Amino acid sequence: MPQQIRHSPLLLQHQRQNAGVLLWTCFQCWPQPRPHSYQRAYFARPAGWCEQSVTWLHATTRFFCSVYASTTGSGVDAGCFIHQPIMNEIAIIGGGIGGLTLAICLKKSGYSCHIYEKNDEFREVGAAISVFPNALTVYQELGILDDILRVAGEVKDVFLKTQSGKILSQSSPRYDLPTVCMHRPDLHAILLRHTDAQLHSGHALQTFSTLPNGQVEIQFTNGVRKTVDALVGADGLNSVVRDRVINDGKPVFRGYSIWRGVCRLDLADGYGSETYGNGQRVGIVPIKEGVFGWWATLNEPFMQTDEPEGTKQKLLAHFGDWHYPIPALIEHTEHFIKNSLSDRVPVRGWSQGNVVLLGDAAHPTTPNLGQGGCMAIEGAYILARCIQKYGLNQEAFTRYEMLHFPRAKAVVDASLAIGRIGQSKNRLVRSARNTLFSLLPPRLTLRMMDTYFSYDVRKLAI
């Protein structure tokens, strides 16, 4: 029931009268230790109002406290006016695809998101990224699917080939939503346009600690400190947050490197392919009209240098005699991105108090299924829905992990297995692999991929 506001020095200290407008602070919220959490309501002063005519109702299960005013003797509420809700603050460490998607999912949910990026500007460095239907369903839900489709390239045909160009298999995606690939910075720019989070560049996380009241105090290497209600570690493969939450050491190197690039080339619209050699592979995807992204893998030691011959010469030495258009793609590429491919053994325990992991910080995977970014997008959607239902607490984070861990683990494990087969130098394994690809009907190949690509995270019972 609404309670009568009494004449209180504590309340009157925080009451404002200005041009007939009153500001009341909820009396029960006032003792809270966080001034930014006070529930306040502005309303026009009713004619004939008096102090005793104002009542308030403290919110326990809702976002808003209620303040009512009635004219003297009328006994009729004048109504509930503009409210300032408790804005719980969430710090997202990492300004990549997962962190930005989470912030967009939490728009208009009563949470204030702060995204902290260690680089001096919010930008994505990378070549092409695959966005499969399982991730596009999330962006469809968020209302930004059309923005993505306007700048992405649709994969219409996928060929599996040998290095000589022999076609082992050909298939076409058959899902309700398209399979698209795009320039990674283009996706990043779209997400930046749609988020209302506060962005902080040049903030590299140094450490954090959980306070007795459950809040998290963060310290950055630039000396800035911030206290928030929850911290989300979306800081990638070498996550600083994970080091504290799970502390399972360094990522596991899987024995091969990957080079990525983007270039213009005259190829069939929607052309996609993956070509297999002896411990070497090359993939090609369309990212917009006349522009293609490509990747190449090669078995070599961790962080192997491309010198002295240089990246282009090194790649041409390995792939220069492969089928068209592979040599041409390498020749026409100006900028190369190289990584030693690593992941982690999937483990539970993604949260500790009000600190939780997201994306590669929680479940890093090799790129053999093209699901690294997609898993971060799915995870962001699940985490946001759990927060919206349960609040910022261990129940929400435990539920998020329970829903997302089995699928994330399955993707990590399957991607690792595909990489081992694809990078094999064993003659019998390579022969069996190529024979299997050539014998499998396309419909069966697509059915095997349905587990990953036709998944709809929106159907989960949160």
Q: What is the DSSP string of 31-63?
A: TSS-GGG--EEEEEPPTT--GGGEEEE--SSSS
pLDDT of residue 109: 86
Pick from 38, 102, 45: which is nearest to 387 by CA?
Answer: 102
Q: Kindly give the pairing relationship between strand 180-183 and strand 153-154.
A: antiparallel
pLDDT of residue 328: 97
The predicted model gives 19-40 an average pLDDT of 43
pLDDT of residue 39: 41
The answer to which of 20-29, 119-128, 210-219, 363-372 has the lowest mean pLDDT is 20-29
DSSP state of 6: P
- The answer to whether residue 125 scores a pLDDT higher than 90 is no
pLDDT of residue 110: 83
Q: Are 149 and 180 in contact (CB under 8 A)?
A: yes
pLDDT of residue 84: 41
Joined tokens for residue 223: 């000396």
User: What contacts 15, CB < 8 A, 6 or more positions away?
Assistant: 22, 23, 24, 25
Terminal Cα-to-Cα distance of the chain (whole angstroms)? 31
pLDDT of residue 89: 94
- Which of the four pLDDT bands, split at 50, 70 and 90, describes residue 267? very high
pLDDT of residue 86: 53
Q: Are 67 and 37 in contact (CB under 8 A)?
A: no
Count Cβ atoms below 10 Å from residue 451 Cβ, excluding itself.
13
Query: What is the distance between the alpha carbons of residues 226 and 204, in angstroms, rounded to a whole number?
Result: 13
Distance of CA 305 to the CA centre of its chain: 31
- Which of the four pLDDT bands, split at 50, 70 and 90, describes residue 448? confident
Alpha-carbon distances of 268 from 273, 284, 288, 334, rounded to whole Å? 12, 12, 12, 22
Q: Can you list the domains of the chain with their CATH numbers?
A: 3-84 (no CATH), 89-457 (3.50.50.60)
The answer to which of 60-64, 188-192, 321-325 has the lowest mean pLDDT is 60-64
User: What contacts 103, CB < 8 A, 6 or more positions away?
Assistant: 92, 113, 115, 195, 196, 197
Joined tokens for residue 229: 């209600």
- The answer to whether residue 188 scores a pLDDT higher than 90 is yes
Q: In what order do the strands lie in the sheet with 337-343?
A: 167-171, 157-162, 271-276, 280-288, 291-299, 252-264, 337-343
User: What contacts 412, CB < 8 A, 6 or more positions away?
Assistant: 343, 344, 346, 363, 364, 365, 366
- The answer to whether residue 139 scores a pLDDT higher than 80 is yes
Q: Are 432 and 352 in contact (CB under 8 A)?
A: no
Query: What is the distance between the alpha carbons of residues 153 and 330, in angstroms, rounded to a whole number?
Result: 20
The predicted model gives 202-222 an average pLDDT of 96
- The answer to whether residue 445 scores a pLDDT higher than 90 is no
Q: Compute the mean pLDDT over every residue in the chain, rounded to the nearest whole number.
A: 85
Joined tokens for residue 90: 């969430």
The answer to which of 1-5, 254-258, 396-400, 453-457 has the lowest mean pLDDT is 1-5
pLDDT 10s digits, 380-426:
999 999 999 999 999 999 999 999 999 999 999 999 999 999 999 99
* pTM, full prediction: 0.82
Query: What is the distance between the alpha carbons of residues 255 and 304, in angstroms, rounded to a whole number?
Result: 11
The answer to which of 21-25, 373-377, 406-410 has the lowest mean pLDDT is 21-25
Query: What is the distance between the alpha carbons of residues 109 and 365, in angstroms, rounded to a whole number?
Result: 30
pLDDT of residue 21: 41
The strand pairing partners of 114, in sequence order, are 91, 198
- Which of the four pLDDT bands, split at 50, 70 and 90, describes residue 346? very high
Q: What is the largest CA-CA distance in the chain?
A: 94
Q: In what order do the strands lie in the sheet with 40-44?
A: 16-18, 21-25, 40-44, 82-84
